[in-house]
């Protein structure tokens, strides 16, 4: 499996935000989101066997929460899925951050999927979500929308209602995008969409969603890697 990095930090997003977490960042992505903050994953990476990855994870213990992210981890599903089965058998709690552009039916049900449905503001990546992946969602899973503006918000709002997402997933996350080149300051001024505005829209519409700020971009400088 090709990895960019493997490290321990605190989870920055989702309902697991704030918990210690081991991040396994896989190399490669088939999308190109306009606001992507992980372009360094598109190329390169180093190959490791599943035994080597498991040993690296164990070296970072005690920590029982693991997130597979990227890039797009499902591009390496052939090796990733067996690794998930091994780690679940060892009682780790697993998460995967994915765009949902690849089929998710084979991801073990015990793995918490954080599925990032791309909005119009994602540019070329918009509308790449595979709708049949909605049928794979359980209450273990979370659906995330990264929002750049009001158009993205309305897309997310309509998608939530159209697909009754609150009945399919455990959480619906609305996450303001960060500017492409944020300042080193740890401030909401770096966001492309003012979170206060987003909260006003959510409350006005009574949306069954949770505001999700990427807390790692407030703990460390927004562009810092490996945290
Ligand atoms: S799917 Fe993720 S890694 Fe790929 S381009 Fe979009 S934000 Fe970047």
Kindly report the CATH number that applies to the domain delimited by 2-219. 3.20.20.70
Q: Which of 97, 106, 60 is nearest to 79 (CA)?
A: 106
Which residue, judged by its Cα, is nearest atom 3 of ligand 1? 71
| pLDDT recorded at residue 108 | 98
| pLDDT recorded at residue 61 | 87
**How far is ligand 1, taken at its centre, from the CA of residue 57, in Å?**
24
**Mean pLDDT of successive 10-residue stretches along the chain, which has 227 residues:** 97 97 98 95 97 98 96 98 98 98 98 98 96 98 98 98 98 95 93 97 98 94 90
| pLDDT recorded at residue 123 | 97
Residues enclosing ligand 1, CB less than 6 A?
A: 29, 31-33, 36, 38, 41, 70-72, 99, 125
User: What's the rounded Cα separation, in Å, for the pair 213 and 146?
Assistant: 10
Instruction: Record the tokens describing residue 147, joined without a space.
Output: 């929002």
pTM above 0.75, yes or no: yes
The residues near 137 (Cβ < 8 Å, ≥ 6 apart) are 113, 115, 143, 168, 169
**How far is ligand 1, taken at its centre, from the CA of residue 76, in Å?**
15
* 43 backbone dihedrals φ, ψ, rounded to 5°: -130, 165
| pLDDT recorded at residue 130 | 98
Reduced to 3 states, what is the DSSP secondary structure of residue 75?
A: helix
| pLDDT recorded at residue 128 | 97
Atom of ligand 1 nearest to the CA of 99: 1
Q: Which of 25, 111, 109 is nearest to 68 (CA)?
A: 25
């Amino acid at each position: 499996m090709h990895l960019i990095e493997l490290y321990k930090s605190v989870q920055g997003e989702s309902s697991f935000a704030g918990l210690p977490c081991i991040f396994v960042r896989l190399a490669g992505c088939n999308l190109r989101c306009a606001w992507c903050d992980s372009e360094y994953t598109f190329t390169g990476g180093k190959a490791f066997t599943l035994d080597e990855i498991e040993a690296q994870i164990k070296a970072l213990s005690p920590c029982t929460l693991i997130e597979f992210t990227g890039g797009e981890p499902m591009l390496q599903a052939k090796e990733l899925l067996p690794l998930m089965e091994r780690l679940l058998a060892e009682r780790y709690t697993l998460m995967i951050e994915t765009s949902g552009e690849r089929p998710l039916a084979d991801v073990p049900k015990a793995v918490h999927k954080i599925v990032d449905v791309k909005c119009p503001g994602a540019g070329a990546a918009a509308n790449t979500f595979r709708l049949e992946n909605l049928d794979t969602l359980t209450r273990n899973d979370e659906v995330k929308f990264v929002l750049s503006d009001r158009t993205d918000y309305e897309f997310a709002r309509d998608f939530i209602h159209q697909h009754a997402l609150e009945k399919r997933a455990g959480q619906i996350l609305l996450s303001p995008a960060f500017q492409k080149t944020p300042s080193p300051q740890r401030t909401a001024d770096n966001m492309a969409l003012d979170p206060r505005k987003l909260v006003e829209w959510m409350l006005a519409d009574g949306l069954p969603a949770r505001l999700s700020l990427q807390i790692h971009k407030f703990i460390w400088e927004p562009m810092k890697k490996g945290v």
